Structure 1
Amino acid sequence: MGMNILITGASKGLGFSTVSEALKGGHHVIAGVRNLQQSHEQFEAMRQEHPGQLELIQLDVNVESEIIAAKNAVERRWGTVDVLINNAGILIARDKKLEQLDMAEVERSMMTNLYGPMKMVKHFLPLLRRSERPCIINISSEAGCFTAAYGRDYPYALSKSALSFFSAQLRKELAPQGFAVYNVHPGWIRTPMGGEQAPGDPGDTAIGLLNLAERKVVPAQESWMITHKGEPMPY
């Protein structure tokens, strides 16, 4: 039986690939996009191939009022969410050394990459609790691991490190209540963020995320971070 899967940052990259794979798996997908008024032609073929399975929703994770409105709309129409995939993220100020860094860019990164997932869980947790097998997947990065620190990308790396700790806190609280909570390094994949030179296919990562959500793959809960295949990573 298909699940209700909510994906943030769904209009491109890994989010878009995950929407596609989830629809193929027979799931109902709620795709969060930053501007619902824009044309989203990339979804049209999916709608035709999987009628009634895909819903787009206005959802900028930086705007808490939009998250609240989305939660209320989802609750009215579907009542529950089985899987929340916090995928929306930004990578900015890549060419800035620490001495040149504008702290506003750090704040923007924290707002999207950390506070966004926090607000999503805050408001959607009541709907996740109604699921028989609730799952939260936070898309983090090895850039936020102590063992992988590389001395640049300060805004991105710090925000992803904080997201990893938030994921660990969630797991401690929610795993005893039947939740699966995963902090996932998606790999270096060909997306607008990863670039065309990346070796990985976002479709492969998307399949891995769904295997986790469907509990086909059950990694060790104590792992700080896992790959999309469920393999534990050093932190």
Structure 2
Amino acid sequence: MKIVVIGADQGLGEKLCGIIRQKGQQAAAGMYRIENAKNSGAEDGHLLLLTDVTDPDSLQRAADVIRYSWGTADAVVDVAGVLTDGDRTHNLMDIDLQDVRTELEVNAIGVLSAFRAFYPVLNKNGRFVAVTSEGGSFSNKGDMFPSYGISKTAANKIVQILRETVKDVEIMAVHPGRMNTEMGRTTAEIEPEEAAEGIYRIVAGETRLREGLWFIDYKGCEMPL
């Protein structure tokens, strides 16, 4: 398989690229900053891409590299995400609106931008996976990281609408669990390697999913909307 991972600078994206290579498949590591490749080890055997999800031109250039290097990709996994410091410490009445805008731009609009850029180079019946969150579920009534939850709810809705709009690729949203990463360190329950292995199995079709499921966790279990 040929799999593009957007947000491979660190954490889940970095681990996912490593697992893809361990499985004998090809990974394209999409980086917010290419210089991060040396720190993450992603430059070791991976095709490197510059993928700033807030910059459609960056994504289009990355998709052009895939077209030139691979022809097409079997799957695209968008791991790119942000949780601002202000969102960790403020409620929705106090948070700086720029934090809200930043998280919406990366976590929600970024999903749409990534899909639009890479859809032309996705194999028919390929897969596009947006890594979202349980925080994007309406059944989650907590107020922790409020802006993040809003952005992930929007991302889930984007996935749902894209599924109705585009029928020749599989589009899904995946909750990766509460991972021990820089973003999730305060609520961690699992290591990112576990989530990466689960997401790989979903992308590779090794985890059997009930037909019609589109919001799932990294084990393939249905997530509540």
Report TM bin, short chain.
over 0.9
Q: Matches of residues 126-141 of structure 1 in structure 2 within 5 Å?
A: 126-128=120-122, 131-141=123-133
2:221 matched residue in structure 1:
231
Q: Would you say 1:55 and 2:40 are equivalent positions?
A: no
CA 1:196 to 1:108, structure 2 compared with 1: closer, same or farther past 3 Å?
closer
Instruction: Give the conservation status (yes or no) of the 8 Å contact 1:11–1:40.
Output: no
Match of 2:7 in 1: 9
CA distance in structure 1 between the aligned counterparts of 2:65 and 2:58, rounded to whole angstroms: 10
Of the three residues 99, 116, 119, the one matched with 1:122 is: 116
Distance, in Å, in 2 between the alignment partners of 1:25 and 1:169 is: 32
Amino acid at match of 2:78: N
SS at match of 2:93: helix
Letter in 1 for 2:177: G
C-alpha distance in 1 between matches for 2:4 and 2:47: 10
Structure 1 segments unaligned to the other structure (5+ residues):
48-52
**Using the alignment, how far apart are the partners of 2:31 and 2:19 within structure 1?**
17
Pick one of 91, 99, 105 that aligns with 2:83.
91
Q: 1:196, CA displacement in angstroms?
A: 6.8
Q: Read off the aligned partner of 1:63 and give its amino acid letter.
A: D
- Percent of aligned pairs sharing the same letter: 26
Q: Partners in 2 of 1:181 and 1:117 — Cα distance? A: 11
Q: Aligned match of 1:199 in 161, 168, 189?
A: 189
Equivalent residues in 2 for 1:165-176 (5 A)?
165-174=157-166, 176=167
Work out whether residues 173 and 214 of structure 2, in 8 Å CA contact, stay in contact via their aligned partners in 1. yes
Query: Which residues in structure 2 correspond to 1:179-190 (within 5 Å)?
Result: 179-190=169-180
* Pair 231,70 (structure 1): closer, same or farther in 2 beyond 3 Å: same
Root mean square deviation of aligned Cα? 1.8
Q: Is residue 74–residue 126 contact of structure 2 (8 Å, CA) maintained in 1?
A: yes
Kindly tell me the number of residue pairs found equivalent between the two proteins. 223
Equivalences for 1:20-59 in 2 at 5 Å?
20-38=18-36, 40-43=38-41, 47=44, 53-59=45-51
1:208-235 Cα shifts (integer Å, max 9, x gaps): 1111111112322433521111111222
- 1:67-86 matches, cutoff 5 A: 67-86=59-78
Moved over 3 A (4+): 221-224
Q: In structure 2, do the counterparts of structure 1 residues 125 and 224 end up closer, same or farther at CA, with 3 Å as the change threshold?
A: closer
User: How far did residue 14 of structure 1 move?
Assistant: 0.6
| Conserved? CA contact 2:31–2:37, under 8 Å | no
Equivalent residues of 2:9, 2:36 under 8 A apart: no
Offset of 1:42 from its aligned partner?
2.7
Q: Which amino acid aligns with 1:180?
A: E
C-alpha separation in 2, matches of 1:87 and 1:74: 18
CA apart distance, 1:67: 0.8
Q: Secondary structure at the match of 2:219?
A: coil
